[in-house]
Amino acid sequence: MGRRFIRFVPAAFAVVCAPAFAVEIDGRIDADEWTGAQHIVDFRKVQPLTGEPGSLPTEAWVLATPDGLAVAFRNVQPPEVTRSRQKVQRDFEEQVDRVNVFIDFDGDGRTGYAFTVSASGGIADEIITNQNDFNSDWDGQWRHAVAEDDDGWSVELLIPWHTAPMRDGVDGQRTLKVFLARVIGSTGERMAWPVASFERPRFLSDFAPITVPEYSQSLLAVTPYVSGLYDNVRKGRDFNAGVDVFWKPSSRFQLAATVHPDFGQVESDDLVVNFSATETFISDKRPFFTENQGIFELTTPSDFSQQLYTRRVGSTGDIQAAVKFNGSLGRANYGVFAAEEDGPTGRAYQALRLVRDFESQNLGAMLTRVDDPFRAREATVLGVDHNWRPTERWNVRTRLLGSRIEQAGDTEQDVGATLWADYEMDDGWRQQWIAMHFGDALEINDFGYLSRNSTNYLHWEVRKRFTDLPETARNASIDWRWRVSTNHNDRGDKLGDQFRMSRQSQLRNGGTGEAQLELDSAGVNDLLLRGNGLVKLPENFSATYEYERPREGNWAPEYGVEVFSGGLAGNDEIGYAGWLGGTYFVSDAFRLNAELVAIRRPDWLIWQGPVEPGLVGAFDGRETRLSAGMDWTVDARQELRVKLQAIGIGARATGAWRFDPAGNAIAGTDAIDDFNVRNLGFQVRYRYELAPLSYLYVVYARGGFARQSGSDGVDDALYDSLSLRDDEQLMVKLSYRFEL
């Protein structure tokens, strides 16, 4: 039923909208204002993905106006269906009543823009790439309004044409692709038009085409900022100022530039204590780097991998200036990025991106370069990406990467390639194949992010979705996945084989549950010694279950548990992790949250550093993490957030190990010390919205990190972390967006 409906959509709805006058965005749907709009009533269930009619009547209107694409929803919701009035902050993730408008402005399945409005008037916006990858770092400027009555609630949105660069239309018309959805917060049901789902490997490509007049808008926006910081530990002051410029003279071209951009001081990254050889990935919230960044997306199946990772820019020096522009020439899109860091260790970054769209596929290439005079290093990477949709069932993505590193007169180069194919079968069955090869000398991390090179990885996965469950069942849908994989490094060493089985369920109360079992074969770890040899590891396993439920009454709980083995002990030593948390709603606008995590690693292997490159300590490690906070949405323009994160680790040394050339462990006589780690991050942030994308921030932040020999116990370490005070700062930041 669902696939027949999708094939029917282009013929039924690819029509030309008549020119329209401005719509007043007040949440009240006036029939005269929406004259000539496409009227959509056939909303069907996509979560659970059954294709059946939605459980509550929903209507939508789509109308192209000179000011932007206007969309309205009328959501019938009788009193017996709980209506959430919970206040949410921008880019919320809470399970509340809401509507979604997803737009692919070029209709080529490469980049989508998501706009979400909750029943209480909260908003979220995201960029969608790689068919179903969502990134909420971007904040757009668009209008919305909500109105409520006894029978339901209504939403009106206006998305300006300057939101994204768009290719030229044909004969004064432009074909977009859209996806409209409504979510019932109390059950988690999502009903949508057309029948498409981000749970499928193809999402953007399944949007419905609509043809509208080829409107265009120009925009020049200048956003200066000033900030002042007082450091209460070092007794120092610091003042900064900068400016962001956004210029869109036509639908085909956009330019963004920045001088001395801020480093996102008003945001707070989650605390991480990382003893592994793999770098922690951190997303970017800086406005310049999130504005229309989708053109530069070139990723692989490796977790978080990307050829252009904007957190690199500014990591070795203050950013003096940066510029990027993107646009289209015919069916080709292009993007250019350049940034300069200041100071003796500063680097220069450049990127050139080209993408060409065809009927069922698109082909792209990106060239990046980093000039690092401090290290006499030049890093160049060329990436090629190809996305192919030969039929409605297949989605095939390939990537090629090549790097060339020149440093101190030496040159090193290597290549990588990935292929992943998804096949949608009948009756809820799907299959996926992934193959990855990254050469031993492939290096993209001067500008990009790759957790490891030297990889030859294969996996096959089969999935089955069950949606025809009885109404009395606890679950609305269940998704089973079974995967087998094998992984070797580029020198032929077997890193391991794995069998994974997982079960994801959507509950009828709107909650979600996930269980997963992983069985790993024996293999070697070639990263633990940081390139100084191999470590042979025996078989191990992990089993995880987690549950999360949306608000019911005043509570929204979540909890989980994991048991696992590992280290040299393999399955002879069992570790565990457990977490319990939740949110308590004092009111719809004021809520408290807390989570406690406890972890025990009975055979925790930690490299002892470059002085003894082949020495590894074994520890009985215990870790406790505390997260707590408060969110108060004072009114539509004001919010207050308090965020506390504390980590305490107590590790008792149980042995010392060295390894022969084959990776076999040899008990060492080296003295290994117990240790404690304490880490703290605390922030109080007040934000006042002066105008769209214009804010006043007042932020108090305190934190610290300490590691010491000896073990006082994990509880003492967590408690002592609360007294850390390496940093204590008060910052005020003002930014204001002028549209000229």
Indicate which CATH number applies to the domain containing 137: 2.60.40.1190
At residue 18 the predicted structure's pLDDT band, cuts being 50, 70 and 90, is very low
**Are 211 and 310 within one domain?**
no
Domain C-terminal end among 451, 473, 500:
451
- What gap in Å lies between CA 328 and CA 356, rounded to an integer? 10
**Are 719 and 583 within one domain?**
yes
Task: Please say if the pLDDT value at position 357 is more than 90.
Answer: no
Q: What percent of the chain has pLDDT over 70?
A: 97
Residue 600 lies in a domain: yes
Q: What is the mean pLDDT of residues 27-36?
A: 94
Residue 182 lies in a domain: yes
Task: Please say if the pLDDT value at position 248 is more than 70.
Answer: yes
**Are 293 and 173 within one domain?**
no
Residue 541 lies in a domain: no
pLDDT given for residue 12 in this prediction: 39
At residue 736 the predicted structure's pLDDT band, cuts being 50, 70 and 90, is very high
At residue 21 the predicted structure's pLDDT band, cuts being 50, 70 and 90, is low
Q: What is the mean pLDDT of residues 143-172?
A: 94
Domain count along the chain: 3
Whole-structure pTM value: 0.91
**Are 209 and 304 within one domain?**
no
Residue 482 lies in a domain: no
Q: What is the pLDDT of the chain when averaged over all its residues?
A: 93
**Are 180 and 71 within one domain?**
yes
CB 36 within 8 A of CB 63: yes
More confident residue, 262 or 258: 258
pLDDT given for residue 264 in this prediction: 59
Task: Please say if the pLDDT value at position 597 is more than 90.
Answer: yes
CB 115 within 8 A of CB 130: no
Q: Tens digit of pLDDT for each residue in 259-290? A: 988 765 677 788 889 999 999 998 888 888 88
CB 186 within 8 A of CB 549: no
**Are 244 and 200 within one domain?**
no
pLDDT given for residue 538 in this prediction: 98
Domain C-terminal end among 416, 451, 486:
451
pLDDT given for residue 16 in this prediction: 39
At residue 699 the predicted structure's pLDDT band, cuts being 50, 70 and 90, is very high
Residue 91 lies in a domain: yes
- What gap in Å lies between CA 15 and CA 211, rounded to an integer? 5
Residue type, 664: N
Residue 502 lies in a domain: no
Q: Report which of 330, 246, 249, 260 is spatially closest to residue 293, judged by C-alpha positions.
A: 246
- What gap in Å lies between CA 169 and CA 394, rounded to an integer? 28
**Are 147 and 243 within one domain?**
no
Task: Please say if the pLDDT value at position 331 is more than 90.
Answer: no
**Are 206 and 251 within one domain?**
no
Q: Tens digit of pLDDT for each residue in 199-226? A: 888 899 999 999 999 998 999 999 999 9
**Are 258 and 376 within one domain?**
yes
At residue 310 the predicted structure's pLDDT band, cuts being 50, 70 and 90, is very high
Q: What is the mean pLDDT of residues 536-541?
A: 98
**Are 160 and 251 within one domain?**
no
Q: Tens digit of pLDDT for each residue in 647-683? A: 999 999 999 999 999 999 999 999 999 999 999 999 9
Q: Report which of 288, 384, 403 is spatially closest to residue 338, judged by C-alpha positions.
A: 288
Domain C-terminal end among 403, 420, 451:
451
At residue 359 the predicted structure's pLDDT band, cuts being 50, 70 and 90, is confident
**Are 306 and 202 within one domain?**
no
pLDDT given for residue 251 in this prediction: 85
Residue 586 lies in a domain: yes
Number of other residues whose CB lies within 10 A of the CB of residue 369 = 18
CB 605 within 8 A of CB 617: yes
Task: Please say if the pLDDT value at position 27 is more than 80.
Answer: yes
**Are 256 and 149 within one domain?**
no
What's the domain range around 309?
Answer: 218-224+239-263+279-451
